[in-house]
Amino acid sequence: MLPTLTLTDLDAKTRPGDLFLPLDDGKLICTACGHRCTLKPGQRGVCKVRYNLDGHLLVPFAYTAGVQNDPIEKKPFFHVLPGSEALSFGMLGCDFRCAYCQNWFTSQTLRDDRATQSSRPTTPGELCDLAVRHGSKTLVSTYNEPLITSEWAVEVFKEARTRGLVTGYVSNGHGTPEVLDYVRPWLDLFKIDLKCYDDKKYKLLGGNFHEVLDTIRQVHAMGFWTEIVTLVIPGYNDSDQELNAIAEFIASVSLDIPWHVTAFHPDYKMGDTGRTPVETLQRARSMGHAAGLRYVYAGNRPGEVGDSENTVCPGCGKTLVTRYGFKVLDNGLVDGACPDCGKRIPGRWTGVDAGTAPAA
């Protein structure tokens, strides 16, 4: 069992942060997420875990609140090292307050009394040792919002680079140019949740809709491997209008960005909302294809969504990667390309130095 920490203990697991702009009278602006919180001495950011102590920004450091070895497909990354393992680690806190959060026990620390403050002191070497010991090829920051703990992630990823490990974020995408520049030398992969396509809904979630759209554009333009997920929730974001708007936005950034439309299951404060029907996922996938997206996947209903868990060559239609849920049943890619027509499939197929395959 992990020890339960007092707030004082949690605040002790910090170090001076890098992502801020100094102001007069000890005030500062935190630049780790799209809120850009202006903090007076003694104030906490929206995330609750970054705070101003006597004019210095202190940020979470040198602990984990969760560590788990998972299939890379669970993140989900479908165009990254298919069938490999990803060591996932997380801290505490989030700049959003989603009522359906599936990681609320760690993300809503200091915001919800039912959430945990438990953690374990950890070093970058220990995380990388664990990844290597279990044969993981990727280290992924997840379980809470990684943008707000980027100083720690960069420290971990610097060590990961020396071990030949791929690095990734599972993020809400509520970023800033400053944080993206900060992580760029050390981060390979970005999975971003595009939760809906509505400014008012994003405000209720605790974020800024346009900051998320801008971050998606910037992440792709900066060369991070990018995959987008929309958790399709009945009665919330499953209208034709909203799903089509999401699909068209992603297509405007790149037709090669994989879009995962995944099924909701009751969780956290939305226990009375039913699961997403398979038909809804199929409808969303059809809209993605109609918008020109080449890779649209339906998730969280393994074996129920036809071939929509598979990667299919957009050139000749050959099935290249066959999946059942998070399990890869067959991988027919040859050096990141279709063996029949030779079309290059965008992704990270062979490791940290492979780069993103160009579209043919």
Residue 157 sits in the same domain as residue 184: yes
Domain assignment present for 155: yes
CB 157: neighbour CB atoms within 10 A? 25
Domain limits at 233?
63-309
What integer pLDDT is reported at residue 225 of this predicted model? 98
**CA 248 to the chain's CA centroid:** 21
Same domain for 155 and 24, yes or no, is no
Are residues 273 and 344 located together in one domain of the fold?
Answer: no
Same domain, 172 and 44: no
Let me know whether 185 and 316 are in one domain: no
On whether the CB atoms of residues 103 and 89 are closer than 8 A, the answer is no
Task: Identify residue 133 by its one-letter amino acid code.
Answer: R
Residue with tokens 């505490």: 92
Task: For residue 77, give the nearest of 152, 140, 129 by alpha carbon.
Answer: 140
Considering the domain architecture, whether residues 178 and 222 belong to the same structural domain is answered as yes
pLDDT value, residue 1: 36
Tokens 């791929």, residue located: 166
What confidence score (pLDDT) does residue 7 get? 60
Residue 2 falls within a domain, yes or no?
A: no
Q: How does pLDDT run across 152-167, given as a tens digit for each residue?
A: 999 999 999 999 999 9
10-residue mean pLDDT series, the chain (360 residues): 53 95 97 98 95 95 96 97 97 94 90 90 98 97 97 98 97 98 98 98 96 98 98 96 98 98 90 93 97 97 93 97 96 96 95 41
| Beta carbons of 162 and 183 less than 8 angstroms apart | no
Residues 121 and 91 in one domain: yes
Q: Is 116 in the same domain as 228?
A: yes
Q: Hey, is 65 helix, strand or coil? A: coil
Residue whose pair of structure tokens reads 């009522």 in the numeric block: 99
pLDDT digits (tens, 9 = 90+) for 276-332: 999 999 999 999 999 999 999 999 999 999 999 999 999 999 999 999 999 999 999
Residue 35 Cα to chain centre, angstroms: 18
Total Cβ atoms within 10 A of residue 271: 9
Assess if residue 1 is contained within a domain. Answer: no
Strands 28-30 and 38-39: antiparallel
Q: Are residues 72 and 138 in the same domain?
A: yes
CA distance linking residue 298 with residue 300, whole number of Å: 7
**Beta strand 63-64 pairing with 56-60:** unpaired
Listed residue (46, 47, 61, 49) closest to 16, CA to CA: 61
- Asked if 105 and 41 sit in the same domain, the reply is no
CA proximity to 75, closest of 358, 356, 357, 348: 348
For CA atoms 160, 166, 171, 174, give the dihedral sign. positive
Helix (H) or strand (E) holding 250: helix 240-253
Contact by Cβ (8 Å): 151, 19: yes
Residue 197 shares a structural domain with residue 330: no
pLDDT value of position 351: 67
**Is 314 found in the same domain as 304?**
no
Q: How many domains does the chain have?
A: 3
Q: Which amino acid is located at 194 in the chain? A: L
CATH number of the CATH domain containing 116: 3.20.20.70
In this structure, is residue 352 part of a structural domain? Answer: yes
Q: The pTM is what? A: 0.94
